[in-house]
């Protein structure tokens, strides 16, 4: 079962990303190291594989 969009947002927040607004169902996150990522979809929706991959890569970049 794929994770929910809200779970990906929590993972980003735990990695130090801050939510900086968005429009509609899009939420933008940024990190102090300059990395930005946008998540789309309602919080209760299943996350798409490309979203999971993007979040994983963003978290790996800030943990280096």
- Extended beta strands in 1-64, E state: 18-19, 26-30, 36-40
Inter-CA distances, 34 with 2, 20, 57, Å: 28, 13, 14
Please name the residues in contact with 64: beta carbons below 8 A apart, sequence gap of 6 or more: none
pTM listed for this prediction: 0.93
pLDDT of residue 64: 84
pLDDT tens readout for residues 2-29 = 999 999 999 999 999 999 999 999 999 9
- Round the average pLDDT of the chain to a whole number and report it: 96
**Number of other residues whose CB lies within 10 A of the CB of residue 48:** 14
With H, G, I as helix, E, B as strand and everything else as coil, classify residue 63.
helix
């Amino acid at each position: 079962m794929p994770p929910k969009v809200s779970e990906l947002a929590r993972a980003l927040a735990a990695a130090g990303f801050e939510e900086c607004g968005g429009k509609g169902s899009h939420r933008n996150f940024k990190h102090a190291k300059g990395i930005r990522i946008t998540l789309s979809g309602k919080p209760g929706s299943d996350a798409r594989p490309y979203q999971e991959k993007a979040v994983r890569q963003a978290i790996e970049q800030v943990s280096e």
